[in-house]
Amino acid sequence: MMGADLMATGNVYVAPTQAGNRKALVLGALGLVLFLGIEALLLRSFNRNDTRPPSWDQAIHMEIALDYREALAAGRPGDAWYLAPKPGMPPFPPAYHLLLMRAYSSADPAHSALWTNWFYLVLLAVSIFGIAWRFRPDESALAAVVMFCGAPVVQDLLTTQLVDLPLIAVAAAAYWALLASEEFMRWIPALAFGVLHAAGMMHKWSFFSYMFPAYWIALTALRDKRTAAVMLCAAAASFALILPWYSAHLALLPSRLVQASTDFAVSAWTPGAWMSYFQQASDSIGPLPWILGTVGLVAPQYVRRREQGWVLLAWVLTSYVFWTIVPNRQLRFLMPGLVPIGIACCATWPKAVVWTTTGLQLLAMLNFHGGWIGPVKVDLPYYKLVFLENRPPAKEDWRTEEILRRIDADRDPSAPISNVTLVANDTYFNAPTFHWMQRRLGLDKVRMRGVNRRLCEFSEFVLLKEPRVGPEQVVSGLPEAAREIRDPRGWFGKAYEETARWTLPDNNTATLFRQRRALKKPYPGKTLVYQHYSAGKVDLTDLKAAFGPWNAGRSTYESMSVDIGKLDARGLVVRDASLELVNVGFLPVTKSEKDEDWVDIRLLKLERLRLKSLDVGAEELKAFLNARVKGLQVASVELEKTVRITGTWNGKPVSAEASIELVDMPRRLKIGILSAKLAGASVPLSMFREIKELTIPLYPNPETPFAIELPSLTISGGRLTVP
């Protein structure tokens, strides 16, 4: 190649000498070490000066790492392999969290975990340097590193406990190996690509979305026997490393991924959607490197290896299109696809432009941690420029530990679990952050819950942040809950009393409410009869309740028997239900203080639920499944020792059989999937490893903080009955 032996000097390119090439490489390597040393000093300073807890997803990742640590330390590798995913989240591959869990040997695991990110930053910087050197073998390869790694968004990821920076680093390393393989002509780089591809997939399932150009190169390699053999070996190595974990989690992964991708969903056809990432990248990478890098990708002037330049453009373009189509648009998801921005800028523009931009980016990096200037916003007619985004360390005490310890000290010691309803979803004051801190402190009896349709049923405590409960896009239902709490004529003030409050760093207030300890008897009589009663999505027919003695000290009835002729709960019809409630406390809800007719009740306490009898028929179960499971049309349900279902799912024939049995230690209802068919083909039960033995706990847990007694369960004659 004519351009293979050229070196840039300003706008004129001359052939480099071997000594000059070696000198540039040595100087570049020394500069790389210096840059990473500066990053280490900045990170150490951040850890020493920042006292904020991890926020939303960061706390979830820290808790997942703690799950791995506890499972492996207890000698339960099976639990670590099939780690239960967090509510609403897909199961995460284990690579990042197995490294992150080592941070728990420190007194401050949240900040110690950031050093894991620094090692990934080293991998990213070396990989960018290696790729840039291929296209322009001089000191500008170092400029490409500083331009991308020094961007505010990368510095932000360096100081957060997220998997995104590791994903960027592994993607860059994989492309470096891919380019070095010369389209699968060289064995060692090609095999390295296969291993790195597997490493990326074992960090996060979305890694494939940055690899479309690599997949195309792999397909074209099949045209030649020699490259086909190399490619197939690399693919086999990658597949062998990926298959065990993904095959074991295939049952849950797709549905959870679809659910997660719809958070903050904005359709790709919404006006401005395709410019969303362009504006975000301009703000968080920096307008100058972003625009110069984009021009460099579209109109490259690479010194050598121009035939590979299309890979950089395709890498960015395919990633941009994919993540714009995905409704949940956050720049961190796209960043592994934007690595070529700094490389294209430095390999295309004259050195004066490159080093000026690099110097400004270095200042932006220092300012990110110092927070001396900005952000500076310049509004243009059709475009907004944002310079110097920053997030310096802050000594902020969000009182998370103090609040949890106060709750643990004030809770009812006789209760197996004390639920806390959190009426807030702010950056450092949210359920995942509290839950992670509760786990870290070992407060096993305290469980943080979110607001539900009935606000705070069975919650001993309620914690309210006001007046700002959180950003508008993530507080659906919370402002209404806050107003219900503060309604002077509402039921909440009768059931709860304020016990503590704290001033938070954002000048908001956190107020803790606890159930009142001396509630009056909610009903004067001993029996209660309703021909029809509705509460939310529950309809009751022929309701008869009998009240036992009232325990004034605990504000509960020692016993309460309930017989229901027909119960319709969200479409599931149950007949002849008979229950006994032990130590139950509730509060009637009426339209006004003078009104005696109950429109609803709020359950406050319950120690034990004894389910004495109920009856569910096959037709009722069929109607419930048709109404509740999207895409499923049940043709028949058979109840005879097992539950057998046949029908269609999204137009394809399906059938399944499951057993239901009571098991002990701990007491729970076990649902085992015995067989499943889709479109006439048997589905391997190994795909359902995580859910084929679905269990419903009958012991106290955060969802039902009371014991459930179920004497027996019978499936026979088309009915499911207790006993």
Q: Are residues 125 and 229 in the same domain?
A: yes
Same domain, residue pair 381 and 476: no
* 232 and 336 belong to one structural domain: yes
Supply the pLDDT for residue 667: 86
Q: What is the pLDDT of residue 679?
A: 84
pLDDT of residue 598: 78
Task: Give the range among 188-202, 215-229, 320-334, 662-676 with minimum mean pLDDT.
Answer: 662-676
Q: Looking at the structure, do residues 179 and 237 belong to the same domain, yes or no?
A: yes
Report the pLDDT averaged over residues 638-650: 92
Q: What are 543-557's pLDDT values in tens digits?
A: 899 999 999 989 999
Q: Kindly report the average pLDDT of the chain as a whole number.
A: 90
| pLDDT exceeds 50 at position 525 | yes
pLDDT, tens digit, 9 for 90 and up, residues 326-367: 888 899 999 999 999 999 999 899 999 999 999 999 999 999
Residue 277 lies in a domain: yes
Query: In this predicted structure, what is the pLDDT of residue 11?
Result: 44
The CA-based diameter of the chain, rounded to the nearest angstrom, is 101
In a domain, residue 206? The reply is: yes
Token pair 């997942």 in the structure block, residue: 64
Average pLDDT over residues 175-187: 96
Three-point CA angle 496, 500, 505, nearest 5° = 125
460 and 587: one domain? no
Residues 45 and 9 in one domain: yes
User: Are residues 471 and 328 both part of a single domain?
Assistant: no
Range of the domain at 194: 2-257+264-387
The DSSP letter of residue 185 is T
Q: How far is CA 254 from CA 261, 596, 672, in A?
A: 11, 50, 21
Could you give the CA distance from residue 429 to residue 440 in angstroms, rounded to a whole number? 16
- Rounded Cα distance between 447 and 651, Å, is 42
d(CA 195, CA 618): 51
pLDDT value at residue 691: 56
Kindly state whether residues 506 and 572 are assigned to the same domain.
no
* Pair 601, 489 in one domain: no
Whether the CB-CB separation of 212 and 310 falls below 8 Å is answered with no
State pLDDT tens for residues 69-84: 999 999 999 888 888 8
Residue 518 in domain: no
pLDDT of residue 154: 98
Residue count of the chain, please give it: 723
Counted domains in the chain: 3
Confidence of residue 65 (pLDDT cuts 50, 70, 90): very high
Would you say residue 320 lies in a domain?
yes
**Residue 520 domain-assigned?**
no
- Summarize pLDDT for 262-299 with one digit per residue, the tens: 555 566 677 677 888 999 999 999 999 999 999 999 98
Better-scored residue on pLDDT, 596 or 371: 371
Q: Which of 519, 425, 443 is nearest to 481 (CA)?
A: 425
> Residue 13: is its pLDDT beyond 70?
no
Distance, in Å, from the CA atom of 276 to the CA atom of 83, rounded to the nearest integer, reads 35
Structural domain contains residue 717:
yes
What digits encode the pLDDT tens for the residues 209-241? 999 999 999 999 999 999 999 999 999 999 999
Q: Which of 387, 412, 434 is the last residue of a domain?
A: 387
Round to whole Å and give the CA distance between 438 and 396. 19
Which whole number is the average pLDDT over 19-34? 89
Within a domain: 460? yes
Helix or strand or coil: residue 560?
A: strand
What H or E segment, with its residue span, contains residue 169? helix 164-180
What count of Cα atoms within 13 Å lies in the side-chain half-sphere of residue 72?
14
Question: How many angstroms separate the Cα of 129 from the Cα of each of 20, 30, 311, 691?
Answer: 17, 12, 16, 45
Q: According to the per-residue pLDDT averaged within each range, which of 139-153, 272-286, 452-466, 658-672 is highest?
A: 139-153
pLDDT for residue 268 = 64
Q: Note the pLDDT of residue 396.
A: 95
Boundary (domain end) residue, out of 336, 356, 387 = 387
Residues 303 and 424 in one domain: no
Same domain? For 11 and 136 the reply is yes
Which pLDDT score is estimated for 7? 42
Lookup result for tokens 């060289």: 186
Tokens of 679: 């479109």
Q: Are residues 618 and 657 in the same domain?
A: yes
Residue 522 domain-assigned? no
pLDDT at 627: 85
